[in-house]
Structures are given as structure tokens and as C-alpha cells.
Amino acid sequence: MIDLLLPFAISAAVTLLLVHSAHLHGAHSGDHDFSKPQKVHVVPVPRIGGLGIVLAMAAMVLWWRLVGEPDAFWTLLILLGCAAPAFLSGFIQDFTEAVTPRGRLLATAASAVAAFYWLDTGLVQTDIPGLDWVVGFTLGSLALTVLTVAGIANAINIIDGFNGLASMCVMLMLGAVAYVAFQAGDTLVGSLALAAIGAVAGFFLWNFPAGLIFLGDGGAYFIGFVLAELSLLLLKRNPEEVSPLFPLLVCIYPVFETLFSIYRRRFLRAKPPSLPDGIHLHSLIYRRLMRWAVGNRSAKALTRRNSMTSPYLWMLCSVPIIPAVLVWDNSVALSVFLGGFGVLYVALYWRIVRFKSPRWMRFPPTRPRWEATGDNRRT
């Protein structure tokens, strides 16, 4: 339990300090640009929440050193060292707006290459026809591993648009990794995953629902990288027990969101995939399901609507995670659920984008009189 509570306490304390010291660093760390299509906040907010998560994980390195856990100590120390390029590229971007998306992606790829060699987390089996032959070669394994890690980290950054969205989804996914690790008897990966959950939870405490601080690119890339590497480490250490499709199903929501966004931008809208837009699934839910978005435009009301969007996506993220932890050793069943999630996501997206969202998702089900008349006062 200390593996969970200690990083939580440290992360919560550091994040609170960052919130209360915003008057000192807010001019540089605050998100002041409200013009981008994916932005939904209305007041400057510090976007360096990832710092508390990183420091909490670093504290666990010292803790495991003190209590005599050499495996956990060295593994986490190497993991943090490998994560440095991914985190720093995003953290510098949060302060300067000077690092391009390509630069951050290349830095994350560099982190993945470092982990491939120093943590030996290369993919050697996929249970996907054709890819198993590719990963049979060192270069093929390296290329697919880097693509996987960088892709997951970037996917977490893409869904980081609303209070509590990315952080809760990552905690749910890490929870699945921890559960299967302990089921497989791998206490090392299980303990590392618990520590990461605690660190992210400490940030979540101040991010949801009030939105007092954001993950930022540094935080999003860092927790995405940690999630990907712990998933690969689980597979590497337990190749006979855990299906290689298990981590893919666990992470399928942000991964599919990214792939679908690339397809939508490139082929449907004929725009560069790297160009930001405001019609991700989470953005559509915010704009088209929050019926009380008409009228009151105060910062408090907008923050509330922001936070009310996230639970919809938490549920969507949980849909593939539940079967993943039930059939984590069965590749055939996992592949069926992967296909099912793809159908569910596309069907849900196209219904919402056509203003035909399912009735159960509508909140409230009918518009109040004061909204229908355009009056901001309740009658």
C-alpha cells in the first residue's frame, strides 16, 4: 500500500505548491492561448502538472533504495532516465511554446530507443499475422517498439483536453496493468504500476473537477511513456502468461482516437494530420451533449461543463479495459473485443457528429425554459 500512498502524497503536495505559486511562474507556465480550436478553458491555468508526477516517481526511487528493493530501484531509475527526453521536450514546450509536435515526437522516440536497450522492452511477439515475422528481426522489433511507445504517449497527449480526462484514463489503464501483473506473479511491474497510479492520482486531486492545473505536454507525454513501457515490461517478463494483445486492448481508446483522427484529417478533410482541430470525440461530447452550454458563459459554468465531459470518456475507456482484465491471456478473445471497440467508437462518433447522440448520453434530456428563450436567468 505504501507504493501507492507515498507517491500520491508527494505528487499532491508538489502539485498544490505549483498551484499556489502560480503568481510566480504563471506568466510562463500558464496556458494563455484560448484561440485554438481544442481549447475550452477561459482563464490562464498552469500547465506544468507533470512536474509533481515526475518528482513523486523520483521519490519512489529513493524509497526503494532505502527499504532495500534493488530490482524496483534500478528499474524505476532507468525508466525515469529513459523518459527524460520525452518529458523535457514537452516541459520546455509548456514554458516556451517553442518545441514543434515533430520535435516532441522525435524526443519521445528517443526515449523509446533508450528503453529498448536499457530496459530490454522490445516487442518480440504480437500475435498479429505478419508482424510476428517483422519483430523476429532486431531492427523490426526496434521500429515497432518505438512506434508503439511514441504512439501511445502521443495518444495520451491528444486526449488531454478536459479536466481529469487523460489522468483518469491513464489510472484506469495502469490499474489493469497492475492487476494482471499481480495475477501473473510479477510484483515488480505491479509495484511500479501502483506507484505510477499514486503519482497521477496526486495530480488528479487538483485537476478534477476545478481545473486548477493542467498536465501539460510534459506530463501527458511522461505518463503515456510510463504506461507504454510498463505494458511492454509486463509482456517481456511474462511472455507465456500475458497475451501481447492485452496492452493494446487496454490502451485502445486513446490509440483508436489517434488513428481515427489521422484518417479523418488526412482523408476526409484533406488537412495535415498534425493540425489541431476541435472535433475529437471528447470535443464533440463537450459541444453537442452539454445542453446547458447555451446561456451562462461564466468561467465557473464553463469549468463545470468541462469537467462534466470527462466521465463520458472514462466510461468509454473502461469498456475495453473490463474484458481485457478478464481474458488477458486469450489472444483470440482479445482480438474480438478490439474489433468490437472499433465498431462502437465509429458508430458513436458518427451519431454524435450528426446530432443524433444516444438519448442516454444527453444531459439534461430536455432544455430548460430559460435556455430555450435565450435568457441567462432561471425563470
The binding site for Mg(2+) consists of 157, 217
DSSP labels, 31-48: -----STT----S--B--
Annotation: binding site? 157, 217
Q: Can you name the residues that pair with 363 across neighbouring β-strands?
A: 290
Cis peptide leading into 244, omega within 30 of 0? no
Q: Cα separation of 245 and 236, whole Å?
A: 13
Please provide the distance, in angstroms rounded to a whole number, between the alpha carbons at the two ends of the chain.
51
Q: Please report which residue ranges of the chain form alpha helices under DSSP H.
A: 2-20, 22-29, 50-66, 70-96, 101-118, 131-134, 138-158, 165-183, 187-207, 216-237, 245-250, 252-263, 281-289, 299-326, 331-353, 369-372
Question: 3-state class of 363 per DSSP?
Answer: strand
- At residue 363, φ and ψ (nearest 5 deg) are -145, 120
Q: Decide: 94 and 218 in contact? Cβ < 8 Å.
A: yes
